[in-house]
Amino acid sequence: MTDRTAYICHRIFDGEQIHSNAALLVEDGRVSRVVSPLDIPEEFIQVSLDEGFLSPGLVDLQVNGGGGLMLGDAESVADVERICSAHVRLGTTALTPTLITDTPEVTRKVVELGIAAWNERVPGFHGLHLEGPHLFAGRKGAHDADLIRPMTDEDIELYLKAADQLPSLIITLAAETVSADQISTLSKAGVRVSLGHSGASYEECRSAVDAGASCVTHLYNAMSPLQHREPGMVGAALDLGGLSAGLIADGVHVDPVAIKIALKSKSGPGRIFLVTDAMSQTGTDVTTFFLGGREIFRSGGMLKLADGTLAGADIDLPSSLKYLTGVVGLKLETALAMATAYPADYLGRPMGRFVEGRPADFVHLGDDFAVKSVWMNGSAV
C-alpha cells in the first residue's frame, strides 16, 4: 500500500526558493513535489504544521565528532552511527564525519569504518572528510604538529581505495606540502580536494586548482590572509570562481563584516557553504573533553585549548542559520541554500533540494530556528 502524506507549512524552502503557505508531497519515503494546499490530491493524508518552515535536510561537510565521541576515537560502525545520530537530531540529515590529523594507523581505521558504515547505510552518513595530515605546520590551528607529514604513495593508495568505496571523500591539504601530480591523481579518482591549514601564496593556490583542487576549508581560518601585495589563500578563494569554500558562522571564527565581504566577492560556479567544524561535545552538555590527549575547554560558545587556540566550533547548523539571518542580515533563502543545496552540490550527492524521486529527508524549523521535527526517508526521526 502506497504511503502518501502532504506536509502543510507556513513556508517551504525547496532548495532554491521559499513557497508561502505550501505543501510538501511525500510518497513512499520519496519527495513528490511542492504544491499549494488547494492542489493536494485527495489520496494524500494531510499533516498541518505550525509556524516556521520546512527545509530539505541540512548538510554538513565538516563534523569532527558528536554525541560525546570524536571520529578518531571511533572503534565500530556503532560509534560512527552515534556521531551521525547526534547531528541528525539537530536537523543535519547528511554529513561527512571528519578526521582531524592523526596517525597512519588511525587514518586507515577510520577509512575502513567509513566504508563499513556506508555499506550498512548508517543514517546521515554520506562519506568522509580527512582534514590532514598533509598540512602546513605553521598554520596548524589545533592540529597536532607532530602528526603532520608529507603524502606518501601508501597514503594515496588508501585514499584511492576510499574514493572507490565511499559515496564521497574530501581531503583537506596544504597546497605547498603536496605536488600537483598528487592533487591531480586524487581529483581524477573522484576525491574532493580542499585547501586548508596552509600558508600558500595565491599562485600556489591557483596551481593547486589547475591540478584539481575545488574547495577551501573553513574560509579565513588557518590560511594565508588577503593582503594588498599577496592575496594569499583568502584571495584565491574569493577570486577563483571554481573554488567552493566552507564557512563557520558562529560569531567567533569569522567577523560578520568578513562574511559579508566574502559573499559579495564570491562568484560561481563555486559557492560558500556552511560547516560547523563540530567536535564531540555536539548533542551533549559536557564542558571539557579531550583531543589527542589535549584537554579542550567549552565556554561562552567557544572551544579552546589551554593556550587559547580555537579547537573546532561549538555550534550546530540551525544556530548558524540564525546567526546568518540575524547578525549578518542574509535573506532566509540565501542562508538555507548555504546549509542545503550548496554543500550538496559540492559533494555531488542527491540531496539538499526537494526534487522528485529523491529521499524525503527534511526538517521543520521554528521561526527561532529551533528544531521541531526531522524526517529521513519520509519517517520521523
Domain-wise residue ranges, the chain: 4-55+354-380, 58-347
Annotated catalytic residue, options 79, 102, 277, 361: 277
CATH fold of 58-347: TIM Barrel (3.20.20)
Query: CA 346 from chain center: how many Å?
Result: 10
Q: Is 277 one of the catalytic residues? A: yes
Residues 319-347, buried b or exposed e (16+ Cβ, 10 A)? bbbbbbbeebebebbebbbbbbbbbbbbb
Partnered with residue 294 across adjacent β-strands are 291
Cell digits for 333? 533563502
How many residues would you count in the chain? 381
Neighbours of 294 (CB within 10 A): 13
For every one of its 381 residues, what pLDDT tens digit does the chain have, with 9 covering 90 and above?
A: 689 999 999 999 999 999 999 999 999 999 999 999 999 999 999 999 988 999 999 999 999 999 999 999 999 999 999 999 999 999 999 999 999 999 999 999 999 999 999 999 999 999 999 999 999 999 999 899 999 999 999 999 999 999 999 999 999 999 999 999 999 999 999 999 999 999 999 999 999 999 999 999 999 999 999 999 999 999 999 999 999 999 999 999 999 999 999 999 998 899 999 999 998 888 788 888 888 778 888 888 888 888 888 888 889 999 999 999 999 999 999 999 999 999 999 999 999 999 999 999 999 999 999 999 999 999 999
Alpha carbons 268 and 362: distance in angstroms, whole number:
26
In this structure, the strands spanning 53-56 and 362-365 are antiparallel
Alpha carbons 230 and 224: distance in angstroms, whole number:
9
pTM of the model: 0.96
Class of domain 4-55+354-380: mainly beta
Using the 8-state DSSP alphabet, how is residue 312 labeled? S
> Measuring CA to CA, which residue among 207, 12, 224, 232 is closest to residue 136?
224
User: How many CA atoms within 13 Å lie on the side-chain side of 367?
Assistant: 3
What stretch of H or E contains 116? helix 104-119
Place of cell 559515496: 167
Alpha carbons 176 and 200: distance in angstroms, whole number:
6
